[in-house]
Structure 1
Amino acid sequence: MSHTTILLAEDNTSIRELVTESLQDEGFEVIAVDCGNRAADVLASEQTVDLLFSDIYMPGQLNGVQLASKGRALRPALKVLLTSGNPTRDFTPPEDLPFLPKPFGMGEMLRMVHQVLQHAR
């Protein structure tokens, strides 16, 4: 699965590094950022992005749902996978946005990434 680029927006450094490594080991190109604002900058650039994989709750002005909406406005074909490890907050993922709850295993995460990439919007 070469030449597939994933934009990973995750504020937790250890999770971001682990997920980046797992995705790269699977053959993906990964652009890893620590907040929604940086991810939005990438999405607004000419950089190729096939999948936005974003935490929902991050510091900065954009949360993952807002980032997904902005990304799809800029790139209508963008595939999105959201994640969160904070079940105490009142949140129901939008039905059109796949959701992977934390904590997740790397195998589970990779299966979900492949599933989202292969699923037509």
Structure 2
Amino acid sequence: MHPQKTCFMGSTNEKLILVVEDDADTLELATLLLTESGYAVVTATDAQGALEHIDKHPAIALVFTDLQMPGLLDGYGLISYLRADGNNLPAILTSGLGHSPNGLPSRTTFLSKPYTRRSLVQNIEAFVGH
């Protein structure tokens, strides 16, 4: 079964953010916060879908991923896989667990759930600007 993938593309001036989240409500909220903040968004519900988007959309500026997801790779595994493959896309890991995993991969930060639009945008801007 392929993960649901939705594409919300904006103007060519917007930074493209890949949101990876298996909870439909959280995915919808993150997408809304980002598009209302001027970002273009592509979404995936698991790491496999995320990797497919990364292959298809070289303009992706940042990966915003849930830490705990179904499938072979969780969010940490997804970012670690990208780093091992030579991909240095900046990444934000998020979780409702309230604490950052030890030893975050390079160019990766952690954002606790629930997050605000401001905290999300500030974390993104720290990596890619706006």
Q: Same fold (TM over 0.5)?
A: yes
Q: Number of aligned residue pairs: give it.
A: 117
Write out per-residue CA displacement over residues 24-67 of structure 1, whole angstroms, 9 at most, x where no aligned residue: 11111100111111101112334421100001110111111121
Quote the Cα distance in structure 1 between the aligned partners of 2:103 and 2:113: 14
Quote the Cα distance in structure 2 between the aligned partners of 1:46 and 1:40: 10
Distance 1:93 1:99, change over 3 A: farther
Q: What stretches of structure 2 of length at least 5 have no aligned partner? A: 1-11
User: Could you state the TM-score of these two structures normalised by the residue count of structure 2?
Assistant: 0.77
CA contact (8 A) 1:85 1:101 kept: yes
SS where residue 65 of structure 1 aligns? helix
- Partner of 1:70 in structure 2? 81
Given residue 8 of structure 1, which amino acid in structure 2 is its aligned partner? Answer: V
CA contact (8 A) 1:2 1:27 kept: no
Matched, 1:18 2:29: yes
Distance 1:106 1:94, change over 3 A: same
Quote the Cα distance in structure 2 between the aligned partners of 1:58 and 1:92: 18
Aligned-pair identity (%): 27
User: Could you state the TM-score of these two structures normalised by the residue count of structure 1?
Assistant: 0.82
Larger deviation, residues 69-78 vs 25-34:
69-78
Given residue 48 of structure 2, which amino acid in structure 1 is its aligned partner? Answer: N
- Partner of 2:101 in structure 1? 91
CA contact (8 A) 1:6 1:51 kept: yes
Matched, 1:111 2:113: no
Matched, 1:61 2:72: yes
